[in-house]
Amino acid sequence: MSFVDSEVTAAQAICDVLEQAGIDFVIGMPGGDVMHIFDALYDRQKTIRTVLVRDEVSAGIMAEAYGRRTGRPAVVLAQGVWLLSNAALGAIEALTGSSPVIYLTDLSDKIPWSHHSPTQTGTGHYGNWDSHLAFRGFMKEVMEAHDPIQAVQLTQLAIKHATVGSPGPVCVVYYGGALKGKVGPASRPALHASAGYLVPDLRQADEASLARAVELLAAAKRPTIIAGNGVRFNGGTDALLELAQTLSAPVVSTSAGKSVMAETNALSAGVVGDYGLEAAAAVLGEADVVLAVGTRLAPGDTLRQHPGLLDVHRQTLIQIDIEPRNVGWTHPVHCGLIGDAGTVMKELAARLKKKSMSAADGAARVQSAAKRGFFESAESASDAVPILPQRLIRELGAALPANALVTSDAGENRIFMVHHFRSQSVNSYFQPGSTGGMGYAVPAALGVKLARPDLPVVAVCGDGGFAMSLSGLMTALEEKLPITVVVMNNAMLGWVAHVQGERRIASHLGRYDYAAIARAIGCRGVRVENPAHLRAALSDAMASNEVTVVEVMTSPEQTWEQVVCKVSAASS
């Protein structure tokens, strides 16, 4: 199983590992000792695409979004101190949102001077920073490679640990000597091909738990599935649809799980939780058996454990998760199934097809609940100027092809999107659901476009988040990644300003012409001030196959408070 037939540099062997694991993309910035890996990538441009970004923040977010869309890791490659200080946002999102990402970095340790505290090193000596300790704060796993053999094997193990169990970000920190040496057939420990390490984790739940879950679901009168971000991987979305149809069970999603089922499906009641739909809250609240899949049931998803939404005293709760610690973490369960979400749901569906079902018509339940409040509101049809966000989102939905992929930024724009945007296809909507960091939408759109270059990709952000990620337009142009960016420009940090009320400070932004800035960079740029012009502008952007910024002048009067889910609507 050895893959080293002759002596090669550690950096060359590391790139062999990436090729064997099917890594398609390395995203980052050259510098320090990782230059050895960049040099080895030069000879692999036909198999691994190396993407240069303007900052490591973008690299981390691009890789996180790519991992969330595909279930496969991309590599973030940059010098240690800058990777730590700039790429942490994407890593934290990957950790808390369970996206597989590989971070490869160096110490720039400058042996034998590292204990004298030279700049940029992270060895942890007196007067210096400790890279291992720092990275451990937001990584699933951190590994240090001190010699060339470790450098190769720990890269293999990093890919393994990023993808098995609950996925997440894994970091390998290379000492300088680890990247400058060589490895060969006689290396000890022996070097082997990566396939033997990279075994897919498609665990099935134990027999007793499966039998119990089938019994409870078959007897349910009003079963409901609450699906989270963990459903996205390993065929989970197909299994979710099959199980929901078998049960005739409505599906509500967490905000992080938005689009694990297309929200145009008759069984989809949309997002549940703080900024979700009243219909979703009503459907979940009336359930007698609740199946939670790939979600930790965080407070924001259950309206702070509101008993009218989810109550284990009047409802039976079944939970599926590949991480045992997540099952029964926030709510006690009547039946817990430890295993891969897609694998377990597929088995449940197969067994339930042999049973007599007691469930009411799930689609009818969704249709009835929709009267309490669904995706559109009166504001969605408004002709007001400045344009209301609700109207913009309605026109965006009408202009987008059904297979379009959408990324959303943090802030008030995201809250309006969670509530009002109706995803038309599966696994098509992505937002910073775990950290809520601004500046996410544009680099995330680039990561999603890397994953699916054949599909239209749209980033939706506010003017604050767009200003943080302007350099992403340059990357989009240089890497020929035609995305559309929709900017809601209300000249303020909307969420902050509306929370502050009349005591506003440090929340007003200047009036800038972002469409003109986009044109100056080399993109198409369009400013829309009349709602009647929205659909044409958005449709043209989609059809152009160019990097396009559609700047929409939006009302500063609309607030996040308008889309807070009404707790009363969830009462049983």
For residues 501 and 412, give the distance between their C-alpha atoms in angstroms, rounded to a whole number.
15
Beta bridge partners, 171, equal 103, 142
Q: Are residues 119 and 245 in the same domain?
A: no
Q: Are residues 499 and 539 in the same domain?
A: yes
Q: What is the pLDDT of residue 41?
A: 98
Residues 330, 191: contact at Cβ < 8 Å? Answer: no
Residue 352 placed within a domain: yes
Q: Are residues 226 and 341 in the same domain?
A: yes
Q: Are residues 191 and 277 in the same domain?
A: no
Residue 1 placed within a domain: no
Residue where a domain stops, chosen among 176, 196, 216: 196
Give the tokens for residue 565.
């889910």
Q: Are residues 390 and 338 in the same domain?
A: no
Give the tokens for residue 478.
């240089």
Residue where a domain stops, chosen among 372, 405, 426: 372
Residue where a domain stops, chosen among 196, 229, 262: 196
Our count of domains for the chain comes to: 3
Q: Are residues 186 and 320 in the same domain?
A: no
Q: Where are the alpha helices (DSSP H) in 164-288?
A: 176-180, 207-219, 236-247, 278-285
Give the tokens for residue 308.
């009218």
Beta bridge partners, 111, equal none
Shortest CA distance to 4 belongs to which of 157, 191, 168, 151? 191
CB atoms within 10 A of CB 207: 8
Q: Are residues 190 and 281 in the same domain?
A: no
Residue 428 placed within a domain: yes
Q: Are residues 343 and 426 in the same domain?
A: no
Predicted TM-score (pTM) of the model is 0.96
Q: Are residues 272 and 392 in the same domain?
A: no
**What is the CATH classification number for the domain harbouring 550?**
3.40.50.970
Shortest CA distance to 495 belongs to which of 560, 419, 432? 560
Q: What is the pLDDT of residue 570?
A: 41
Domain enclosing residue 343, as ranges: 207-372
Q: What is the pLDDT along the chain (572 residues), one digit of tens a residue?
A: 457 788 999 999 999 999 999 999 999 999 999 999 999 999 999 999 999 999 999 999 999 999 999 999 999 999 988 898 898 999 999 999 999 999 999 988 888 888 888 877 888 888 888 999 999 999 999 999 999 999 999 999 999 999 999 999 999 999 989 998 999 998 999 999 999 999 888 999 999 999 999 999 999 999 999 999 999 999 999 999 999 999 999 999 999 999 999 999 999 999 999 999 999 999 999 999 999 999 999 999 999 999 999 999 999 999 999 999 999 999 999 999 999 999 999 999 999 999 999 999 999 999 999 998 899 999 999 999 999 999 999 999 999 999 999 999 999 999 999 999 999 999 999 999 777 789 999 999 999 999 999 999 999 999 999 999 999 999 999 999 999 999 999 999 999 999 999 999 999 999 999 999 999 999 999 999 999 999 999 999 999 999 999 999 999 999 999 999 986 544 44
Please provide residue 4's backbone torsions phi and psi, each rounded to the nearest 5 degrees: -110, 105
Residue 39 placed within a domain: yes
Q: Are residues 362 and 382 in the same domain?
A: no
Q: Are residues 345 and 386 in the same domain?
A: no
**What is the CATH classification number for the domain harbouring 314?**
3.40.50.1220
Could you give the angle at which helices 441-451 and 56-70 cross, rounded to 10 degrees? 50
Please provide residue 144's backbone torsions phi and psi, each rounded to the nearest 5 degrees: -115, 125
Q: Please name the amino acid found at residue 34.
A: V
Q: Are residues 167 and 225 in the same domain?
A: no
Residue 202 placed within a domain: no
Q: What is the pLDDT of residue 571?
A: 44
Residue 568 placed within a domain: no
Q: What is the pLDDT of residue 312?
A: 94
Residue 540 placed within a domain: yes
Residue 106 placed within a domain: yes
